[in-house]
Amino acid sequence: MLSSFSPGLHAVVIGANGGIGAAFATLLEADPNVSRVTRFGRPALDLTDPASIAAAAASLPTPPDLVICTTGVLHDQGLAPEKELKALSAEALARSFAVNAIGPALVAQAFLPLLPRGHKTLFAALSARVGSISDNRLGGWHAYRASKAALNQLLRTMAIEQTRKNPESIVIGLHPGTVDTGLSRPFQRGVRTLFTPEESARHLLAVIDARTPDHSGRLFDWQGLEIAP
């Protein structure tokens, strides 16, 4: 139960047709403190289509108290994590930044102004530990790392502005760990801890519930531990 929020909160899940997003939405719908859960996913909301993001925000029947952006891309047709620099391409960089950084930023641009004042509200986007510059010891995965690092910087910058406009509002990034979804499935060999989408969403909701305005602008893992930029 999200006990740190005011009763009857309205939660919005972006990417609700994905594994983690669907798990978030299902758990929130079972929370007695949540009165409404609005699910958005493709094709109604496309991160590469700013007009669809704006239309989704405008369609909300009531202001949201919690917005969770669960979208991201690591690989798809023509896109794969690079093992070395010579594999990097402009197309991979553009695709990764469009989905992992620009899309969530446009979601925040559309939804943050809707968060009410006077009580705890929160905007969270799924990021990744590999977006930490100081934690990068293995190299590789250039486009994915860079796009997640960009997302982390965007969240930090948004949080500073949001604190001035709405002091009780919180903006954070979340690292879910390795989750058994299509995003991670080709890269699960050797993973010590593999979470189901429900396990991951449950962990992250506990992290969300424990956040305060002092935590805004920072990146936290599924245990609630801060990840250095």
- Per residue in 7-57, pLDDT (tens digit) is 999 999 999 999 999 999 999 999 999 999 999 999 999 999 999 999 999
Q: Are 3 and 9 in contact (CB under 8 A)?
A: no
* DSSP one-letter string for 140-186: --HHHHHHHHHHHHHHHHHHHHHHHH-TTEEEEEEE--EESSTTTGG
Task: Say yes or no: domain 9-227 is CATH 3.40.50.720.
Answer: yes
Q: Are 20 and 176 in contact (CB under 8 A)?
A: yes
Single-letter code of the amino acid located at 9: L
pLDDT digits (tens, 9 = 90+) for 83-129: 999 999 999 999 999 999 999 999 999 999 999 999 999 999 999 99
Buried b (16+ CB within 10 A) or exposed e, 149-171: bbbbbbbbebbeebbeebebbbb
Q: Are 128 and 175 in contact (CB under 8 A)?
A: yes
d(CA 156, CA 167): 15
- The full set of domain ranges for the chain reads 9-227
pTM over 0.85: yes
Tokens of 5: 């929020």
